[in-house]
Structure 1
Amino acid sequence: MEYLFIGTSNSYLSHTVSISTLKMFFGALFIAGLIIKITPIGKYHSSEHQVANAYLKDPNLTLEEVKKQPRTHKDCGTNLVVSVVICFFILSMIFDDASWVFLVSWSIGFEVWKSEPKGIWNLVLMIGKVTQYMLFTSKPKEKHLIVAIEALTKLEEKELANEN
């Protein structure tokens, strides 16, 4: 923080508060989750999930059908973060608290997220959906769902226009 505010840093101050990278990562996720949960962002996020779930069933979206859908989605970026956190947790136990572990965790976590391996993917989805529900989505109001339906409709129109 000292470096951000005054542009210089005393090296003796950088080690006065000992906090592991894992704790800092979980703390940042928790704070981000709280911010998303208590602001309209969480409502729009869950609306996107509900619209995407409804669209996968039937491209002709209706408000009634969207309201029936769950507010979690298998393709949410939260599942990427969960796969990275799992890799980070495992690698941190093996290699201690090295900063390079964070970068390797992102690389492995991304590959897990992209390839969806059968063994671990069910665990990632379970943790991811709980995380989405508890931290990163809120029950949307009708106006949030209408905005999400309209956004997907406009996106579909643009995609169809680009095909021609």
Structure 2
Amino acid sequence: MSTQKTPPAYGGQAVVEGVMFGGRKNYVTAIRRNDGSIDFFKLPRVPNSKLSALKKIPFLRGIIAIIEASANGTKHLNFSSERYGLDPQDDAKLEQEDKKGSGLSMFFSLAVIGVLSFLFSKFVFTLVPVFLAELVRPVFSSDAAQIGIESVFKLILLLGYIYFLSMTPLIKRVFQYHGAEHKVINCYEQNLPITIKNVQKQSRLHYRCGSSFILFTIIVGMFVYLLVPTDPLWVRILDRIALIPVVLGISFEVLQLTNKVRNIPVLKVLGYPGLWLQLLTTKEPEDDQVEVAIESFNELLRLEDISEQSEKPSDNVI
């Protein structure tokens, strides 16, 4: 009987001039400093038995994963935005300021800010299309038509937001690092040596991407909203707010499903809408950006290996 373990599914996130990767026990961010060097920011995953139990519950696990990703991602984004343009000689001064602000309280504040930012953006992208749809109710009066036009407005709002963001030089480079992150994961999942040459040959798209998840919330929401009335307006607004966790939970499961069936010819098309959106949220990276992503991932693998070894007994007796 084979005892080979299924390799863990690593995830990541693009940051300013760098990439963050997360494993079972650690998070690592690598960024390119203005002097050309690569700097790292590392955080261990804090074990939480209650959260671990909740992550095993379908539909609920997605909400927990999103909140956790928002909280941790903000910390790494803060590190990258503070450091990438700072002269490395000034790091000591920045660390002194961090100590004055109390590192623990600062990280907690960043986590709260990350979660609140996600919730605020979700409220905006959920409710603005509702009001826009109401403006055209004289033309699209039925519930089904209202939900359809609401979803169209939501998609236009999302695509427009991403498109105009991508036109700024800073975000364009972030999207390039996003592409580098996906390429590294694709290279790893194909069991290829993680070199710049091998990584650059990979696709910049990935079925488990958060961009796909965002699109799925629009598609899933359209079907979920068919179960509740669209009139009067105040009921519609309350329904949309109350159903946010439901839509997020189902969308996460859809994302996981499309990833599981991505190698089945007939079913892999389920993930295509999310991949199409990634054509906007990722760009082809340059070699030096791929190098940063590789350094981040290799450092994560090193830390994960150390964590695994530290859990094993000192001898091989079984």
Q: TM-score, normalised by structure 1?
A: 0.74
Structure richer in strand, relative to its length: 2
Q: Provide, for residues 131-161 of structure 1, a one-character-per-residue CA deviation record: whole Å limited to 9, x for no partner.
A: 101x100111111111111111100011011
Is residue 212 of structure 2 the alignment partner of residue 79 of structure 1? yes
Are the structure 2 counterparts of residues 29 and 158 from structure 1 closer, same or farther at C-alpha, using a change threshold of 3 Å?
A: farther
In 1, distance between residues paired with 2:253 and 2:268? 15
Is residue 291 of structure 2 the alignment partner of residue 146 of structure 1? yes
Unpaired runs of 5+ residues, structure 1, are 1-16
In 2, distance between residues paired with 1:86 and 1:122? 17
Identity, % of aligned positions: 24
**Larger RCO (CA under 8 A, 6+ residues apart):** 1
Matches within 5 A, 1:44-55: 44-55=177-188
Deviation at 1:81, TM superposition (A): 1.9
Aligned length: 147
Residue 161 of structure 1: aligned partner: 306
Q: Provide, for residues 96-117 of structure 1, a one-character-per-residue CA deviation record: whole Å limited to 9, x for no partner.
A: 3541344422222122223448
In 2, distance between residues paired with 1:47 and 1:68? 11
In 2, distance between residues paired with 1:163 and 1:36? 39
2:191 to 58, 64, 71: 58
Structure richer in helix, relative to its length: 1
Deviation at 1:76, TM superposition (A): 1.2
2:131 to 18, 26, 48: 18
Are the structure 2 counterparts of residues 154 and 161 from structure 1 closer, same or farther at C-alpha, using a change threshold of 3 Å?
A: same
Are the structure 2 counterparts of residues 82 and 121 from structure 1 closer, same or farther at C-alpha, using a change threshold of 3 Å?
A: farther
Are the structure 2 counterparts of residues 24 and 125 from structure 1 closer, same or farther at C-alpha, using a change threshold of 3 Å?
A: closer
Matches within 5 A, 1:32-111: 32=162, 34-36=164-166, 38=168, 39=171, 40-58=173-191, 60-93=193-226, 95=228, 96=230, 97=236, 98-99=239-240, 100-111=242-253
In 2, distance between residues paired with 1:73 and 1:163? 27
2:271 to 89, 105, 125: 125
Describe the SS at the equivalent of 2:132: coil
RMSD, aligned α-carbons = 2.9
In 1, distance between residues paired with 2:163 and 2:300? 27
Q: Provide, for residues 28-59 of structure 1, a one-character-per-residue CA deviation record: whole Å limited to 9, x for no partner.
A: 45314542564211000000001111111235
Q: Provide, for residues 72-123 of structure 1, a one-character-per-residue CA deviation record: whole Å limited to 9, x for no partner.
A: 0122122222222211122335533541344422222122223448699634
Q: Mark the structure with the bigger radius of gyration.
A: 2
Paired residues of 1:37 and 1:137 also in contact (CA < 8 A): no
In 2, distance between residues paired with 1:69 and 1:125? 18
Paired residues of 2:208 and 2:255 also in contact (CA < 8 A): no
Q: TM-score, normalised by structure 2?
A: 0.41
Residue 22 of structure 2: aligned partner: none
